[in-house]
Structure 1
Amino acid sequence: MDKVYVEGMQFWGYHGAFKEENTLGQRFYADVIMEMDADKPGRTDDLDDTVNYAHVYETAKEVLEGDPVKLVETLTHEVCRLILERFGVVQAVTVKVTKPDPPIPGHYDGVAVEMRRERGFERT
Structure 2
Amino acid sequence: MKLHHRSCVRLVNAVFYARHGVHEEERCLGGRYEVDAEVVFDTTEAAATDDITKTVDYSKAYAIISEVMTSGEPAALIETLAARAAARLIEELVIAEKVTVRVRKRVVPLGGLCDYAEAEHTIEKR
TM-score, length-normalised on structure 1?
Answer: 0.92
8 Å Cα contact 2:108/2:116 also seen in 1: yes
State the match for 1:62 in structure 2: 67
Q: Is the 8 A contact 2:39 2:98 kept in 1?
A: yes
Shift in Å, 1:6: 1.1
Matches within 5 A, 1:78-93: 78-93=84-99
User: Which residue of 2 is the match for residue 36 of structure 1?
Assistant: 41
Which residues in structure 2 correspond to 1:1-124 (within 5 Å)?
Answer: 1-66=6-71, 67-120=73-126
TM-score scaled by length of structure 2: 0.91
C-alpha displacement of 1:104: 2.1
User: Following TM superposition, by how much is the alpha carbon of 1:61 offset from its aligned partner in structure 2, in angstroms?
Assistant: 0.5
Distance 2:112 2:47 in 1: 46
Query: Which blocks of at least 5 consecutive residues in structure 2 are unaligned?
Result: 1-5
Write the letter of the residue equivalent to 2:25: E
Shift of 1:62: 0.5
Q: Distance in 1 between matches of 2:89 and 2:59?
A: 12
Give CA deviations for 1:21-46 in whole Å, capped at 9, x if unaligned. 01000000000111111121111111
The list of structure 1 runs, each at least 4 consecutive aligned residues, that deviate by more than 6 angstroms after superposition, is none
Query: Which consecutive unaligned segments of at least 5 residues does structure 1 have?
Result: none
